[in-house]
A and B are shown apart, each in its own frame.
Chain A
Amino acid sequence: MNRTLLIIIGVVMALVLIAVWVYLLFFNQPGGGDDNFADLNFANTDREVVDDTSPTFSEEEALVEVSDDSVLKQLTTEPVIGFQEVAATASSTPVVYYLKPGTGHMMSIDLETGEEERVSGTTIPNASRGVISITGQLVLIQAGQGHQAELLLGELSSSSEELKLTTLSETVLDFTITTNNELLYLEGDGGYTTIKQYQPETKTTKTILTIPFAETAITWGNEVGGVHYIYPKASGQLEGYLYQVANGKFSRLPVAGYGLTAYGTADYVIISRQLTGRYQSAIFNRTLDQTKPLEMALLPEKCVLENTKSSFVCADSTTALKTDMPDLWYEGGVSYVDNFWRIDTASSSASLLLDTKKESGRELDIINLVTGQNSGDIYFQNKNDQALWLYQISR
């Protein structure tokens, strides 16, 4: 064959191949699966198609994983703005109520079955913070933020998901519902702050006391007539002083320091402040009028009284707290990986209860600890994402 003929044959074959490729790429439509895959006729390949009967989860029927063995459980994946353990009777399984940000909707989680359902669908725009009574029937919700924040009282109807709303204050700074269902709130008033009590039965407001400064932080007592601790909001560069409100009187306690914060009961107060260039903690014994240093430095905001009343449970990190505390933590500039500790009030000693990262695999910067009145378990939020968690300390 001569060279010319060979070349012609090669070119024709190339053109045919290109045409076939173009056809397959642009015009060929694949057939059904059954047409394209050979039946290889393996034995026992008959499959029984099972209808998916698993429930479709709606907001009312969501399930929270509560049945695993871990003592640390994440109850929500989304942020919450308030929560409370509620039990119908002393022997019934408690449920936890929580409030959703932005809407103020109230949800409940059954801690035995994990079932989640909506308790209240009343929308409160810009809901940013809330407190729920231990009966679950009363809720205080802050709408908005800053000095113009409004405080609303919600009373749950027994027959519907509706909250009956009453505006209590238009300059609220802080608020609580005591274990006796008493409503207390702190209101700003120029260079002063006022503690007020609202009585839903008579729809009246009573002034408990006026505090002579504006930048007020408060640790609420368990009842109106109990001991409430007051101090100027903390900064590591400004001196703070500890006061108490008891029996309607405002008086100074022998505790002061830069960056001072405090949390406590009528008998013991955990305090932290800057001392000799370091952030240090101590327990102030009210009966003996003495302060005893703690081995570890912690933030009193991360503590709660245990149901036993003789010890505190505190969240603390092994990372040394920096000297520019607590400002840097308030700003979000530092985040801690906390463990749970028990602080014995009599001896001022600390014992490790739980390594949370080992238990959960998550880094938890623990805030807003609340002791369940019925179970004694500890509910808290993770500051990193404001999600709600449960530590079953009673197990």
Chain B
Amino acid sequence: MILVFTASPAAAQLSPYDLAGRAVAPEIRLDPEFPEPNEEVTATLTNFNDYAINTTITWLLDGVKISDTNNALNISFNAGAERKTQTISAVIDRSSGRTIANQDLRPAYLDIIVEPQTHTPSFYQGRALPSKGSLVNLTALLSDSDLYRNGLLYTWRVGRVVLSGGPIYNNNKVSFEVPYGRDVVISLDITTPDGITVAEKNIIVPSVSPYLRFYEASSLFGLRTIPTTNLVLIGNSTAVRAEPYHLDSRVYNAPSIAEWGVSGQDYSDVGSNPYEITLQRTDQTGSSRLTFQVRDIRELLQGAKGSLNLSY
């Protein structure tokens, strides 16, 4: 029995023997491991260092030789169409005989759609962003999931924490609260009931701080879609709405603090909407500073404040 010890991880990877001295067959490693349709894939031959004279390596894709790849330890090729299983093969011919390494791949799309439950104005056409402590809904769409009639197991991780306690059948929708930090890493592994991984993906979800924008509001024309920082009161009255972008929707709907101030004085005489204030002209002329703050006292980072200059 021969025991092979090596200090080099690369050499250990290419060693044709395991620690018990048994011969390990060459394998093909794909990068990415679960490619999308038409995505470029790199195939690398591993567990192989028996590269002697008269050894040849031939690469085949679905049985067809890939040109210009003779004797290469790794090659690149484009994955095929969606839902079509392909086989990449490396045929190793040595004086001692032939060894074939095969690896199947089935290109598919795995999309993770991030839907933060934070606030944006009704006219805003885009998607809201997550903020610390806010809820985020995740939806995974695997393009050929319907081919797995026995169902698939979904294992979601937020950082190192496994959601829902572990893998759950057909659990393609989950929610989580955004932890502290600038970004959070989401990982998803999808496996068959007998443990074969069919897809996996890691994404980075950003975390932003909420901020305020002020917009003029009209009972007839609705909300003006251009924000203002300097408002000139031309008519007898106008309404201004404060929109806290990316504030947790739960805080937006029930804020602990929602305060307006005019020239440093608190102003509490607002209507049923705490985010809107009506300004009425008096006989005086001049300028003021209008301020607004919204905040949750349990999660202090869930808040925003801002101000605008008012001339009349």
A330 touches which of B126, B208, B221 (Cβ 8 Å): B126
A337 on interface, CB distance cutoff 8 Å: no
- 11 contacting pairs across A/B (C-beta < 8 A): A79-B221, A101-B222, A102-B218, A102-B221, A212-B139, A232-B115, A232-B127, A251-B143, A252-B109, A332-B226, A384-B226
Closest to A237 in B: B206
Q: Find residues 284-299 in chain A having any chain B CB closer than 8 Å to their own CB.
A: none
Contact check, A101 vs B221: say whether CB atoms are below 8 A apart.
yes
| CB of A235 closer than 8 Å to a CB of B | yes
* Interface flag for B220 (CB, 8 Å): yes
B225 touching A383, Cβ below 8 Å: yes
B94 within 8 A of A: no
Instruction: Looking at the assembled complex, report how far the CB atom of B19 sits from the nearest CB atom of chain A, in whole angstroms.
Output: 42
A214 at interface (Cβ–Cβ under 8 A)?
Answer: yes
Does any Cβ of A come within 8 Å of B137's Cβ? yes
Which of B206-234 touch A at CB < 8 Å? 206, 208, 213, 215, 218-223, 225-227
Question: Complex: how many Å from CA A147 to CA B172?
Answer: 24
CA distance A386 to B213 in the complex (A): 20
Which of A101, A146, A333, A383 touches B122 (beta carbons < 8 Å)?
A: A146
B115 touches A215 (CB 8 A): yes
- Chain B, residues 284-302, CB within 8 Å of chain A (1/0): the string is 0000000000000000000
Chain A count of residues within 8 A CB distance of the other chain: 38
Which of A191, A233, A254 is B125 in contact with, Cβ under 8 Å? A233
* CB atoms of B115 and A213 under 8 A apart: yes
Chain A: CB-nearest residue to B224 = A332
- 5 A-B pairs closest in CB distance: A145-B122, A102-B220, A233-B127, A146-B122, A235-B127
Kindly provide the distance from the CB of A85 to the nearest chain B CB, expressed in whole angstroms. Answer: 24
B220 contacts A330, CB within 8 Å? no
Question: Contact flags (1/0) for A325-347 with B, using CB distance below 8 Å?
Answer: 01100111101000000000000
Q: Is A238 an interface residue when CB atoms closer than 8 A count as contact?
A: yes
Residues on the B chain within 8 Å of A149, using CB: 122
B72 within 8 A of partner (CB): no
Distance to closest chain A CB from B301 (angstroms) = 18
Interface residues on B, range: 35 or more
Q: Which residue of chain B is the closest to A146 with respect to CB atoms?
A: B122
Chain A positions near chain B (C-beta within 8 angstroms): 79, 101-103, 126, 128, 145-146, 149, 191, 212-215, 217, 232-235, 237-239, 241, 251-252, 254, 256, 301, 326-327, 330-333, 335, 383-384, 386
Contact A333 B227, beta carbon cutoff 8 Å? yes
Q: Which residues of A contact B226 (CB under 8 A)?
A: 332, 335, 384
Q: Which residues of B contact A102 (CB under 8 A)?
A: 218-222
Pick the residue among A126, A326, A335 that contacts B126 (CB under 8 A).
A326
Q: Which residues of B contact A126 (CB under 8 A)?
A: 222
Residues of B within 8 A of A191 (CB): 115, 137, 139, 173
- Tell which of B141, B215, B221, B225 touches A252, judged by Cβ atoms closer than 8 Å: B141
Q: How far is the CA of A214 from the CA of B137 in the complex (A)?
A: 10
Bound-state CA distance A332–B125 (Å) is 11
A214-B125 contact given A252-B109, A252-B141, CB 8 Å threshold: no
Question: Is there an interface contact between B111 and A241, defined as CB atoms closer than 8 Å?
Answer: yes
Taking the closest CB of chain A, its distance from the CB of B127, in whole angstroms, is 4
* Proximity string of chain B (100-132) to chain A, C-beta cutoff 8 Å, 1 when within and 0 when not: 000000000101111100000011111111000
CB–CB B143/A252 < 8 A: yes
* In the assembled complex, B38 has its CB within 8 A of some CB on chain A: yes
Q: Among B109, B126, B220, point to the contact of A235 (Cβ < 8 A).
A: B126
Q: Are A235 and B115 interface neighbours, CB within 8 A?
A: no
Residues of A within 8 A of B173 (CB): 191
Chain B residue numbers with a CB within 8 Å of A79 are 221
Identify A145's interface contact among B82, B123, B208, B245, CB under 8 A.
Answer: B123
With A241-B111, A252-B109 in contact, is A327–B126 under 8 Å at CB?
Answer: yes
B72 to chain A, nearest CB (A): 28
What 16 new A-B contacts, CB under 8 Å, besides A213-B141, A333-B227? A102-B219, A126-B222, A149-B122, A191-B173, A215-B127, A233-B127, A235-B126, A235-B129, A238-B129, A239-B112, A251-B143, A252-B109, A326-B126, A327-B126, A330-B124, A332-B226
Q: Does B257 contact A (CB under 8 A)?
A: no
- Cβ of A217 and Cβ of B137 under 8 Å apart? no
Chain A residues positioned under 8 Å from B113 (CB to CB) = 213, 215, 232, 241
Complex Cα distance, B220 from A79, in Å, reads: 10
Contact check: which of B111, B206, B213, B219 meets A331 at CB < 8 Å?
A: B213
Q: Cβ of A234: which chain B residues have Cβ within 8 Å of it?
A: 125-127
